[in-house]
């Protein structure tokens, strides 16, 4: 439960819960961009989602040619994501079949599949942004499909690992997406799924700050409409069970973006920095990281 409902909350969501179909839904928070979007929550299944629901065209439009522009050199992309991706691989490698075929959905610049390739896997990627996909192919030599996962063609039971790091929350339907992931995984295959926890301590803190200051942008953990869905650990695990997976491994992490802030704004972000300390990060970090296995 939240400490209180946002002052910008306006009651019921505009449609039934897209996860379970319940009409018992409530808008929690408003985010104004070029359109008005809300974070909604289902009172029955507890799933959080963007209301109104973005269409596939909306989702594709969010990631235009300039979306990854600041990462389009090997040095910058390695500096931004290298340590995190190496940590993922070190964590999941003992569970995986050596040399298996892997697919990284939403592979961005292709760094993660390139690191898997260095470890001996037959790695490829999928990336909506055509410019970034071209970079991945040219700079890292990774086969990359540049189209939505919903329409891309893959052979059933052909991958030992499918990774979606900070991707599933952007999908049109997590249920349909994970059902398709289940279908293209070999028996006993794994999926690496990561996303932020909308109910984390950090999220509660910034939600409170945003409500008290009437600055909706301060709730940095609420990413509507870019996140079609926001998850908690219980709603994520319910989704995995529903789509035929079991949780093989779980951990939390916490990363604070190294952005320059001054004055009062810098002070507001101090609690988030404290959470990045290793003992607190493992216990209360905002990032949820799951290795799930096909059943």
DSSP at 143:
-
HEC readout, 134-181 = HHHHHHHCCCEECCCCCCCCCCCCCEEEEEEECCHHHCCCHHHHHHHH
Name the phi and psi angles at 204, rounded to 5.
Answer: -60, -40
Q: Are the beta carbons of 53 and 228 closer than 8 angstroms?
A: yes
Q: Is 83 helix (H, G, I), strand (E, B) or coil?
A: helix
**pLDDT at 147 > cutoff 70:** yes
**Cα distance between residue 134 and residue 69, in whole Å:** 13
Task: Kindly give, in sequence order, each residue whose CB lies less than 8 Å from that of residue 290, ignoring residues fewer than 6 positions away.
Answer: 192, 193, 194, 236, 240, 247, 249, 250
DSSP at 277:
S
Mean pLDDT of 249-253: 97
Q: Is 159 helix (H, G, I), strand (E, B) or coil?
A: strand
What is the domain partition of the chain in residue ranges? 1-53+198-231, 54-197+232-294
The pLDDT > 90 percentage for the chain reads 69
Question: Distances from the Cα of 116 to the Cαs of 132, 140, 180, in angstroms?
Answer: 18, 11, 22
Q: Is 145 helix (H, G, I), strand (E, B) or coil?
A: strand
According to the model, what pLDDT value does residue 107 have?
95
Q: How does pLDDT run across 48-85, given as a tens digit for each residue?
A: 999 999 988 888 788 666 666 677 888 888 988 999 99
Beta-bridge partner residues of 225: none
Query: Which residue reads 């910034």 in tokens?
Result: 206
Between 194 and 6, where is the model more confident?
194
The encoded tokens of residue 169 equal 């929350």
Can you give the pTM of this predicted structure?
0.90
The encoded tokens of residue 226 equal 């870019």
Beta-bridge partner residues of 173: none
Smallest Cα–Cα separation from 242: which of 292, 190, 170? 292
According to the model, what pLDDT value does residue 14 have?
86
Cis bond upstream, residue 225 (ω within 30): yes
**Cα distance between residue 226 and residue 208, in whole Å:** 21
54-197+232-294: CATH topology is Rossmann fold (3.40.50)
Q: How confident is the model at residue 137 (pLDDT cuts 50, 70, 90)?
A: very high
Say how many residues make up the chain.
295
């Amino acid at each position: 439960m939240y400490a209180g409902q946002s002052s910008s909350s306006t009651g019921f969501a505009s449609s039934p819960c897209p996860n379970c179909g319940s009409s018992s839904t409530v808008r929690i928070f408003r985010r104004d961009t070029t359109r008005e979007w809300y974070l909604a929550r289902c009172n029955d299944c507890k799933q959080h989602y963007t209301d109104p629901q973005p269409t596939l065209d909306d989702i594709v439009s969010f990631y235009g040619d300039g979306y990854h522009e600041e990462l389009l050199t090997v040095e910058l992309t390695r500096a931004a994501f290298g340590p995190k991706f190496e940590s993922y691989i070190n964590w999941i490698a003992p569970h995986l079949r050596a040399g298996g075929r892997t697919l990284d959905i939403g592979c961005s610049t292709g760094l993660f599949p390139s690191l898997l390739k260095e470890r001996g896997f037959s790695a490829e990627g999928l990336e909506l942004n055509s410019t970034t996909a071209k970079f991945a192919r040219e700079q890292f030599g990774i086969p990359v499909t540049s189209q939505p996962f919903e329409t891309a063609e893959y052979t059933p039971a052909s991958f030992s690992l499918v990774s979606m790091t900070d991707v599933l929350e952007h999908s049109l339907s997590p249920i349909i997406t994970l059902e398709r992931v289940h279908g293209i995984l070999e028996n006993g295959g794994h999926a690496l799924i990561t996303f932020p926890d909308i109910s984390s301590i950090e999220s509660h803190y910034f939600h409170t700050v945003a409500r008290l200051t009437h600055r909706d942008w301060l709730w940095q953990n609420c990413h509507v409409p870019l996140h079609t869905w926001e998850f908690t650990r219980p709603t994520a695990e319910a989704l995995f069970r529903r789509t035929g997976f079991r949780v093989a491994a779980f951990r939390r992490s916490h990363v604070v973006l190294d952005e320059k802030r001054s004055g009062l704004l810098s002070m507001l972000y101090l609690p988030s920095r404290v959470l990045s300390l290793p003992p607190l990060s493992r216990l209360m970090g905002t990032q949820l990281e799951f290795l799930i296995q096909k059943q």
